[in-house]
């Protein structure tokens, strides 16, 4: 008899943990994802700032799932889902395919949101993919290189001003790391410029840094960043971005232009368009960020065979963090196993909050886990251990540990190589337009 076929879309935390949790179940699993790797997004900022290589945070999905004999992995971009016909339409470059399913787990995550200003992306890349991180690495190190060859003082100052938009964990980590590069790693390497003179400006629309960590920890993070030399502009909204700078509007209505070549966008998420597409077919709602409002058992309303998990699911009290996706994945897999055994568990999905953490600089972090609040070295050590545990793959863990030794003990960085492709790749893809391969490579659908 044919086994039920489970199709999983995405190889992020949701997709990967769903496939693992279905190991040995009486089902066949096909994972369709547009990259060949699982991506550990929480450490993207370390790739962008030269601490880690991309391979350390992005092991091949095939390798991780080698032992899950009932699962196969397919590289492809899912373009549409027909929930009435139970079919997924996907393609790899010019080859189009359709795959039928009995169960579908949609774990397609979110992309960067520019709040309706998608043209900002060209000048201020987001931080969602390996391409983003490598492009940002090329821009950061490239700015110092260009500044060294510049004659005019104003051009040097524009090149040595770095703007990070959004003071959530990613923005805080990026700003802290760029500051550390400028004031520690690069010191003594240049002859005409002083990297220490670099300005790092962290811009946040709301009143606080790390808003989800509460006022106290947000305050600690802000003071720590400022002590390290990061300028923090809160209650400040970015209204325009171009190649040579950005414009902000403050709460009092005043505007200011910041001359800066290197900008990083770490504000706002937008659900994969697949979410809105299936919600529309099912008559379900999406929230403002395009995340699907799922039922209490993480299924698409009216479709017990379709689970939406991870960042793409809007569930009260479940933040867009790795644990939300991992726990959702295990819950969906348990439900599917239950069906196969003749009875699906009746309990709704319950999220167990294991807390959140963000690093500010070397040896300094903040951790919030229920009533436990940690700051400083202890928080940083906890961050280190937990992130190491969650990186997939023994080889990746080992080499991450080595790179961390280099960075944290010597302040050097082993991954500072940049290429022209990193710098111009985005523009080249833009020129391909919406042609057959460019959307696949850009990661949009």
Ligand X SMILES: Cc1cc2nc3c(=O)[nH]c(=O)nc-3n(C[C@H](O)[C@H](O)[C@H](O)COP(=O)(O)OP(=O)(O)OC[C@H]3O[C@@H](n4cnc5c(N)ncnc54)[C@H](O)[C@@H]3O)c2cc1C
Which residues of this protein are in contact with ligand X, per CB under 6 A? 9-15, 32-35, 41-42, 44, 77-78, 107-109, 127-128, 169-170, 272, 274, 310-312, 320-323, 325, 445
Find the DSSP H helices in 181-245.
214-227
Pairing of strands 236-242, 245-250: antiparallel
Minimal distance, residue 10 CB to ligand X, in Å: 3
Closest to ligand X by CB, 77 vs 336, is 77
- Taking the alpha carbons of 117, 120, 126, 128 in that order, is the dihedral positive or negative? positive
Q: Is 280 a catalytic residue?
A: no
Minimal distance, residue 133 CB to ligand X, in Å: 8
| Dist. CA 169–CA 204, nearest whole Å | 12
66 contacts: CB under 8 Å, gap ≥ 6: none
Nearest to 106 by CA among 268, 277, 269, 270: 277
Minimal distance, residue 15 CB to ligand X, in Å: 6
Closest to ligand X by CB, 76 vs 195, is 76
Minimal distance, residue 385 CB to ligand X, in Å: 14
Closest to ligand X by CB, 35 vs 407, is 35
| Dist. CA 407–CA 362, nearest whole Å | 9
56, 173, 180, 204: which is the annotated catalytic residue? 173
Do 75 and 15 contact (CB within 8 A), yes or no? no
Instruction: Estimate the crossing angle of helix 394-410 against helix 376-390, to 10 degrees.
Output: 150
Minimal distance, residue 41 CB to ligand X, in Å: 3
Closest to ligand X by CB, 25 vs 365, is 365
Closest to ligand X by CB, 62 vs 249, is 62
| Dist. CA 353–CA 321, nearest whole Å | 10
| Dist. CA 231–CA 211, nearest whole Å | 17
* Residues with catalytic roles: 173
């Amino acid at each position: 008899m044919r086994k039920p076929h489970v199709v999983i879309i995405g190889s992020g935390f949701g997709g990967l943990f769903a496939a693992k949790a279905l190991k040995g179940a009486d089902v066949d699993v096909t994972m369709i994802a547009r990259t060949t790797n699982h991506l550990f997004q929480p450490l993207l900022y370390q790739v962008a700032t030269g601490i880690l290589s991309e391979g350390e945070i992005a092991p091949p999905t095939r390798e991780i799932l080698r032992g899950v004999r009932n699962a196969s992995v397919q590289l492809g971009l899912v373009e549409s889902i027909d929930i009435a016909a139970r079919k997924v339409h996907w393609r790899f470059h010019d080859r189009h395919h359709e795959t039928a399913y009995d169960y579908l787990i949609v774990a397609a995550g979110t992309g960067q949101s520019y709040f309706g200003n998608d043209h900002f992306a060209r000048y201020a890349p987001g931080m969602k993919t390996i391409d983003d991180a490598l492009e940002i690495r090329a821009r950061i190190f490239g700015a110092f290189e260009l500044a060294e060859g510049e004659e005019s003082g104003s051009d040097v100052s524009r090149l040595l001003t770095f703007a990070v938009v959004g003071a959530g964990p990613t923005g805080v980590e990026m700003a802290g790391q760029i500051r550390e590069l400028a004031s520690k790693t690069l010191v003594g390497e240049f002859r005409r410029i002083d990297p220490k003179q670099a300005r790092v400006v962290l811009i946040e629309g709301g009143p606080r840094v790390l808003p989800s960590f509460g006022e106290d920890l947000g305050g600690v993070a802000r003071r720590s960043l400022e002590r390290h030399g990061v300028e923090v502009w809160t209650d400040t909204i970015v209204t325009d971005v171009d190649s040579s700078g950005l414009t902000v509007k403050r709460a009092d209505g005043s505007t200011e232009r910041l001359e800066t070549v290197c900008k990083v966008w770490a504000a706002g998420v937008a659900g994969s368009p697949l979410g809105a597409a299936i919600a529309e077919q099912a008559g379900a709602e999406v929230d403002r960020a395009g995340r699907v409002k799922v039922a209490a058992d993480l299924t698409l309303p009216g479709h017990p065979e379709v689970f939406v998990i991870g960042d793409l699911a809007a569930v009260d009290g479940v933040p867009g963090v790795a644990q939300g996706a991992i726990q959702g994945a295990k819950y969906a897999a348990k439900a599917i196993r239950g069906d196969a055994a003749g009875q699906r568990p009746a309990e709704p999905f319950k999220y167990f909050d294991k807390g959140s953490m963000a690093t500010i600089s070397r040896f300094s972090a903040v951790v919030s886990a229920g009533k436990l609040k940690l700051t400083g070295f202890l928080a940083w050590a906890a961050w280190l251990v937990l992130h190491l545990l969650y990186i997939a793959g023994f080889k990746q863990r080992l080499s991450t540990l080595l790179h961390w030794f280099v960075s944290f003990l010597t302040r050097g960085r082993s991954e500072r190589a940049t290429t022209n492709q990193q710098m111009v790749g985005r523009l080249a893809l833009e020129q391909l337009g919406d042609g057959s391969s460019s959307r696949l490579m850009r990661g949009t659908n």
